[in-house]
Amino acid sequence: MSKLKILTDGLVKENPVLRLVLGTCPTLALTTAVSNAFGMGFAATFVLVCSNIAISALRKVIPGQVRLPAYITVIATFVTIVQNLVKAYFPDLDAALGVYLPLIVVNCIILGRAEMFASKNGVVDSALDGVGMGLGFTLALLLMSTIREVLGAGTWYGIQIIPESIDRFTFMTSPAGGFFTFGLLMALVVFIETKLGDRRKRSVGCEGCPSKGACGAKGGCE
């Protein structure tokens, strides 16, 4: 697999949110503002890259029986680092992200890439995979937050876009608006796949789950 392909797969072809449907909790909860999307995207990308590098470097010395606790320990270390940095230098962002910042530890995207990629590939490839998946996650967050903030608040990153004289579509800033936007973007991805003749066959159960190896299930997902 070429390094360019590893880097770009996470942007569109294997986008963790819009194609693999991972990390949906922070995606739905934090996309009412573009500033939140930038913050969560940066934090998740930092943890993805660093944990992928560390797990790849240690993959030959981590016993298979304790690989998941080891992966979570590595991920939690980098989450603690980024959380302390955000608290120290970006207190407003820390308050906006709230509990979702420390919950990066259990983000399916990060644990899934550790199990599916970093534990089986070299350090450079794992770093590129982390960058690609992190940017893909950030891109999905930015798309959703742009739609929701512009229509729901009339602003983009706090900058006035829609004149105050025009009523806001406040539904977009509600939880229901998040699900609605998420569904529209997923439908758009499916439409583009169909037009390009690149529609992926999706299956229900463990065979279609990128975290199959992480959860240890052998039959069907529960």
Residue 205 pLDDT: 44
Residue 167 pLDDT: 86
Residue 74 pLDDT: 95
Residue 152 pLDDT: 92
- Please compute the mean of the pLDDT values over residues 102-116 and round it to a whole number: 91
- Please compute the mean of the pLDDT values over residues 108-125 and round it to a whole number: 92
Q: pLDDT digit string (tens) for 86-107?
A: 999 999 999 999 999 999 998 8
Q: Between 191 and 48, whose confidence is greater?
A: 48
- Please compute the mean of the pLDDT values over residues 59-79 and round it to a whole number: 92
Q: Which tokens sit at 178? A: 């998040």
- Please compute the mean of the pLDDT values over residues 11-24 and round it to a whole number: 88
> Burial of 78 by CB count in 10 Å (0-12 exposed, 13-18 middle, 19+ buried)?
buried
Residue 215 pLDDT: 52
Its pTM stands at: 0.85
The terminus-to-terminus CA distance of the chain in angstroms comes to: 32
Residue 203 pLDDT: 44
Residue 196 pLDDT: 72
Flag whether pLDDT at 181 surpasses 90. Answer: yes
| Cα 215 from chain centroid (whole Å) | 18
Flag whether pLDDT at 54 surpasses 90. Answer: yes
Q: CA distances (Å), 175 to each of 57, 106, 116, 157, 178, in order? A: 40, 22, 31, 19, 5
13-22, 36-45, 198-207: the lowest-pLDDT one: 198-207
- Please compute the mean of the pLDDT values over residues 2-12 and round it to a whole number: 87
DSSP-assigned beta bridge partners for residue 156: 159
- Please compute the mean of the pLDDT values over residues 52-57 and round it to a whole number: 96
Q: How far apart are CA 46 and CA 199, in angstroms?
A: 31
Residue 1 pLDDT: 67
- Please compute the mean of the pLDDT values over residues 211-220 and round it to a whole number: 50
Residue 95 pLDDT: 93
Closest by CA position to 107, among listed 140, 145, 137: 137
Residue 12 pLDDT: 82
